[in-house]
Amino acid sequence: MGITKSEIFTEEQNKLASIAKVLGHPARIAIIQHLIKVNACICGDLVEEIGLAQPTISQHLKELKNIGIIKGNIEGTSICYCIDTANWQAYQKQFASFFDTLPKVKNTKCC
């Protein structure tokens, strides 16, 4: 069906999955890494840097903006994008605590 049954999962599970999903594309990872590297830049810079068409980069930026991991500021005819630090740190914590839930002790039951 191609449609996720989100209603059978907790809000926490859906939220974490939706963030992971957005991070689940190399172009979006590359966009984030470049934004961190240069602090802030415009869409056209990312088009050059990454090598995808402008509408494609614009679409990826939209998804990153949707979950709030980046934000854009209008500057004349262009839009200056950068990481949304507050949300970044919140997501950092969410992933950290997700990975931290695994006990450090060895499995005994099987595996």
Collapsed DSSP state (helix, strand, coil) of residue 75: strand
Concatenated DSSP letters of 56-68: HHHHHHHHHHHTT
Which tokens belong to 27? Answer: 């172009």
Pick the closer one to DNA by CB: 104 or 107. 107
Residue position matching structure tokens 């999903």: 21
Position among 2, 3, 77, 110 found at the interface with its own copies (CB under 8 A): 110
The distance of closest approach from Cβ of residue 35 to its own copies in the complex, given in angstroms and rounded to an integer, is 9
Quick count: other Cβ atoms within 10 Å of Cβ 64? 24
E strands present in 21-77: 41-42, 70-75
Q: d(Cα 2, Cα 100) in Å, to the nearest integer? A: 31
Decide if residue 5 touches its own copies (CB under 8 A): yes
Write out the binding residues for DNA, residues 80-109 only, by CB under 7 A.
Answer: none
Per-residue contact string for residues 45-64; x = within reach of DNA by CB under 7 A: x-x----xxxxx-xxxxxx-
Binding residues vs its own copies (CB under 8 A): 4-6, 8-10, 13-14, 16-18, 20-30, 33, 36, 39-40, 50-52, 71-73, 75, 80-85, 88, 91-92, 95-96, 98-103, 106-111
